[in-house]
Amino acid sequence: MNELPDAQNVGLSLESRFTLAYDAAHSLALAALRWHGYRSENRYTVFQVLDKTVSFPAGKWRFLDNCHQKRNVALYDGG
């Protein structure tokens, strides 16, 4: 997984860095969900169950959930 180190590359645009960091976080959250034997048909669910899969505090998984919402606005609403 090269997304996380690449997200730290200051030569990339902030949008690219955000996308890389988001994709890395989603991949890790999805791996944790699958490790526990679950599947998700909704992309946002993997963040909302981080308290159960890896004991993330509410503030941390809500931050990632907020990033998911911002990603969706950028992708689907052109914002």
Task: Please state the domain extents for the chain.
Answer: 14-76
- Model pTM? 0.82
Query: How many of the other CB atoms lie within 10 Å of CB of 42?
Result: 7
Structure confidence by residue, pLDDT tens digits, 2-60: 677 777 888 888 888 888 889 999 999 999 999 999 998 888 899 999 999 999 999 99
